[in-house]
Structure 1
Amino acid sequence: MTSSPIPYGRQQIDQHDIDAVVAVLGAEFLTQGPVVGQFEQALATYCGAQHAIAVNSATSALHIACLALGVGPGDIVWTSAITFVASANCAIYCGASVDFVDIDPVSYNMSVPQLREKLETARKAGKLPKVVIPVHMTGQSCDMQSIHQLGQEFGFKIIEDASHAVGARYQGKAVGCGRYSDITVFSFHPVKIITSGEGGMALTNDELLARSLRRLRSHGLTGNAPEMDPRPEDELWNYQQVELGFNYRITDIHAALGLSQMRHLDDFVRARNDLARRYDELLVNLPLSTPAQASDSYSSYHLYVVRLSLPQIRKTQKEVFRELHARGIMVNLHYIPVYLQPFYQRMGFARGQCPEAERYFKEALSIPLYPGLTREAQDRTIATLSEVLQG
C-alpha cells in the first residue's frame, strides 16, 4: 500500500470554521458587511495596532500600501532578494522601479549590513529608495529596529511584508504592532498560519494612511464628508470617487473563515514551533543545516527551510528535490531570487547581484511543516530525508 504524499504545508480547518462560513451564507451580507470589520478589529487588537484594512490578498495589500505611501513613477522601492515575487511586483504596479538587497546568511532575512552599504552607495548617486520592504522570511522577524534606524537616517518609509509572520513576535511585541514600520502586511493564503481562503490585511497606526488604504481597496471611493469635494446642495452625493482605486475588497465569507481561525492562531504557532524543535533535534546528524532563530524573535514558522550540505551529499539540490517527491515528501523551494525571474532579467538584472541569495537558492528546501503534521508523518519525512541524503 502506497503512503499518501506529505505536503510541505496545508490549512487546518475544523467544524467551527465551516459553521462560521455557513452562517454568513445565510446572513444578510455576503460582502461589505459586518464580519469584515470584526475580522479587522480582531487582528488589530491581537497585534496592538490602531487600524487594520482587510483585502482580497496580501498582494493587494502590498500594492495599496505602496500607493498610500505615495510610490509612483520615478520612485525606487527595495525589497529582499529572497521572497515571493509579489514583494517586488507591488512597486512595478505603481510605475516605480525596484531593486534588491542581499540576505543574511543565517536568518535568510534582509541583511542589515548589506542594506546600509547599498544605501550609502545610493545616497552618493542620488538614488535612495522611497520605500523599503523587509520580508519576514519563514515567519521570523527581520531586524526591524536596525532597519527603522536606517529609515530615519536615509529617509525611507517601511512596509513590513509579514505574509509569513502572523502570530510571530519581535522584542516581546506582536509582529504587526507597527513600532518600527509604517504599514505591516499579512497573508491568509491556505498554507499560511491562519487562512481566509484567499485574503490579506494591512495594519497601520497612522489614521491618514488607514483612510487612504480603505479608499484604495474600494475603487477610490469615500462616503466620509470631510474627504469629499463640495457639490451643489440640491444634489445627492452620498459617495464620491476621489482617487483611482481598485476592487480589492474581501468578502464576508472569507472574513468569517479568517475570524474563526483567529481562535487557533496561538495554538497553530505553538504547534509549528513544537514541530520545528523536534526537527532541530532529529535532523542534527544529517548533512544539512537547520533554521537559526534570533533571541529577540519568536517565529510563527510558516516554513521550515533546510540548507543542504551539497559536498557531503554528492547530489544536486534538484536531484534531492526529485527523489523526495518520488517518495511522497513534497518539499518545495522558497524562493528563487526574484531578480533571476525572466520578467526581471529582461529589465537588466543579472546573476551575481546578491551572492548570498544565490548560494541559498542552490541549497534550500522547505520540508513539511503545518499544525496537522502527525508524529508519524514527521518521522517518515525525517527517515526519507536520511535515505535520500545518505543513501
Structure 2
Amino acid sequence: MRAAVLTHFGAPLTVREVPEPEARGGEVVVEVLAAAVAPYAAEVFGGERNYPLVPPVVPGIGGVGRVVQAGPDATRLRPGDLVWCDTTVRSRDDALTPDITLQGWSSRGEGGARLARYFHDGAYAELMRVPTENVFPLPAAAGEAPARWAALGLHVIPYGGLLAGGLAAGETLLVSGATGNLGSNAVALAFAMGAGRVVAPGRNETALGLLADRFGPRLRPVRLTGDEAGDRAAMSGAANGPIDMVIDLLPPSAPSSAARTAAMTVREYGRVVLMGGVGMLGGADLALPYPWLMRNSVTVRGQWMYPRTANVGIIRLLASGALDLAPERVRSFGLDAVNEAVAHAAAHRGPFDRTVLTPALH
C-alpha cells in the first residue's frame, strides 16, 4: 500500500510503498477515506513542537474509513462498515491510569512511548491498523462526505473539555483561544450543547466577525489588547452576567498571562478547564493566585484529549444536525499532495477552515 512517511524531522513527507497492516486479536484494519490535517502539522513535522514521534513513521490523527478486516474478537464490526477511527489509544492493562498514545502523532511518558512503538503509524496511508475499541460506526451520511466528516477529530478534542467541565444548558462559557481552529470548534460545540451564551475573546477581528456572523447575539466577541486588567473587565462585561465556565485552548505560542486573564473571569464556584499548549515551549507558569482559587472555590482541571465515550457523543451531535458541518470550508488533497496539504493547513488555520487528506480516494 501507499503511505506518507515522515523520514526525519524537518524533511518533507515522502509518499512510498509500505507493507500492508494485518489485524490481530483486538485490532481492525481500515481503508482510510479521509483524515484531517491539523493546522500545526508543519510545526510537528518540522520538530518545532518537540512531539515524541519516532521516524520513520506514518503520521496522521484519526480518520473516516471502511473496515477491511476485523480481528477474531470483534462481534459487531464487519468488512465494509463505515467508521470513525479515534487516534487516542489507551493501554489495556491499567483501567485507572492508562498510558496514552495519539496514534501517528504523540504520546505521554515511557508507557505511552511503548504503546506508540506498537500502534506506530497513523492515518496518512491507504490502510491503517487500529485497536478495535477505537473504531466507531458512522451514519450513512458520512459516506457521502467523508472529507467533511473528518473534522470530527478536531471537534472531539474540545468536546472532551466541555464534558470535563460539565457544561450545562443555559450556562455562559468563555472560550480562551476562540479565534483558533480548536477554539472556534469549542464555540460551535457549546451552542450545540445548549450554552446560553459564549464569550469569545481574541485579537483577530476578522475571525471574531466570522464567529459573530455565524452564531448571532448569543456570541459575545471581545477584542483583546494585552492589558490583563482591561481585558478581564472587557470579557466579564461582555458576558452580561456570571461566567460559569472557562475552557482554555490557546496554542503554545500564547503567553501564560492570556490564559490567566481568561481563567480569572470565572464566577465563584465556577470551573476552568485547561486543554491548550501554554508553556509547552517554555515561558512563565500560569500562576493563578492561591487566595483567589481558595476563597472563590474555583475548580481548575487539566484535560488531555477526551474519554472514549466522547466519540459516541460527538457522532450523535453530528448525525442529529445539532452540530452543523455545512458552513465549514473544506479543501481536500490526495495522498501524493500531502506536503501541499500540510502547507495549506498552516496557511488556513482560522475558524472552520478544514484541510483533509484522502489517501484511499483516487
Same fold flag (TM > 0.5): no
More helix by share: 1
More strand by share: 2
TM-score band, normalised by shorter chain: 0.3 to 0.5
Task: Give the alignment's TM-score, normalised by structure 2.
Answer: 0.34
* Greater Cα radius of gyration, structure 1 or 2: 1
TM-score normalised over the length of structure 1? 0.32
